[in-house]
Structures are given as C-alpha cells and as structure tokens.
C-alpha cells in the first residue's frame, strides 16, 4: 500500500511476521522501520529488511511490567548490525543512561509532548 501511495517508507509493528517485504522493488530512499521486543522479533525484522528497529521498552512504564534496561539493550544490540532505536519509558531522569547504550537514536512521544523538540540531546 505504501508503494502504491508513493510514500517514503513504512512501519512494520512487532506482531507483523510477514516476510514478503524482503524482495520488493522499492524506490531510492524508501525506508522500512519496525519494532521488536526480543531477539526473535529482531531476526524477523532483519528478514523484512528493516533499516531501523525500535526496541522497547527500555525503561519501566505504566503499561509494561518487564523492561530491558541498558545492559540487556546492549547485549541484544550485539546480535544485529541493524540500527536500534531506544523506545519506552524515556524521560529526563533516565536520559543520561541512554548515552550508555549502543542506540542509533531515541523515540519518546510523551516526553517530547511534555518538553518539546528543543531539548538538547547531545549525540542524538
């Protein structure tokens, strides 16, 4: 559908296990991003040719009892060469911990809504 609508990319959620995206003829600059919660889902996203993978939740949230934290995130990042993005539970209190991860970026809807995009995030 994204190809028919001439979009720049597509997001594949973690529950999407379909592998038919791996051999599509896509235009230059088209990005496939996906989300994952564990190593098996990361392997699925690699087979789907995702350029970026959102790995969540990094920190404790109200919605999730289980979370990765910095050490588990870094151990999982050793499994793939894809660019991983931190997602989940990010706020100004634990922002410094994210600099210890091997992430390509961060994503946080509620924190950005609260603080805006003008926050200095250093390497991100």
- Label residue 70 left, alpha or beta by phi (over 0 means left) and psi (-120 to 50 means alpha): alpha
What 3-state DSSP class applies to 86?
strand
Give percent of the chain above pLDDT 90.
9
Overall average pLDDT of the 15-23 stretch:
77
- pLDDT tens digit sequence for 54-75: 988 888 777 767 778 888 888 8
Residue 54 CB: number of other CB atoms within 10 A?
Answer: 24
Q: What is the pLDDT of residue 17?
A: 87
Q: Where are the beta strands (DSSP E) in 9-75?
A: 9-12, 31-36, 52-55
Average pLDDT, the chain: 81
pLDDT band at 53 (very low <50, low <70, confident <90, very high): very high
**Could you state, in order of their start, the residue ranges of all structural domains in the chain?**
9-115
Question: What's the CATH number for 9-115?
Answer: 3.20.20.70
pTM, to two decimals:
0.77
- Per-residue confidence band for 88, with pLDDT thresholds at 50, 70 and 90: confident
pLDDT of residue 42: 92
DSSP-based three-state secondary structure for 31:
strand
Residue 111 is predicted with a pLDDT of 67
Top-confidence residue, 26 or 40: 40
Res. 104: pLDDT tops 70: yes
């Amino acid at each position: 559908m994204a190809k028919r609508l001439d979009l720049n990319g597509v997001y594949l959620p973690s529950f999407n296990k379909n592998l038919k995206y791996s051999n599509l003829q896509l235009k230059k600059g088209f990005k496939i991003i996906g989300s994952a919660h564990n190593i098996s889902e990361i392997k699925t996203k690699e087979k789907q040719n995702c350029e970026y993978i959102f790995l969540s939740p990094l920190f404790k949230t109200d919605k999730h009892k289980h979370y990765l934290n910095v050490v588990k995130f870094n151990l999982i990042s050793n499994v793939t060469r894809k660019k991983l993005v931190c997602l989940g539970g990010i706020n100004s209190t634990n922002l410094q911990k994210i600099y210890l991860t091997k992430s390509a970026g961060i994503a946080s809807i509620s924190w950005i809504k609260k603080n805006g995009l003008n926050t200095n995030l250093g390497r991100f």
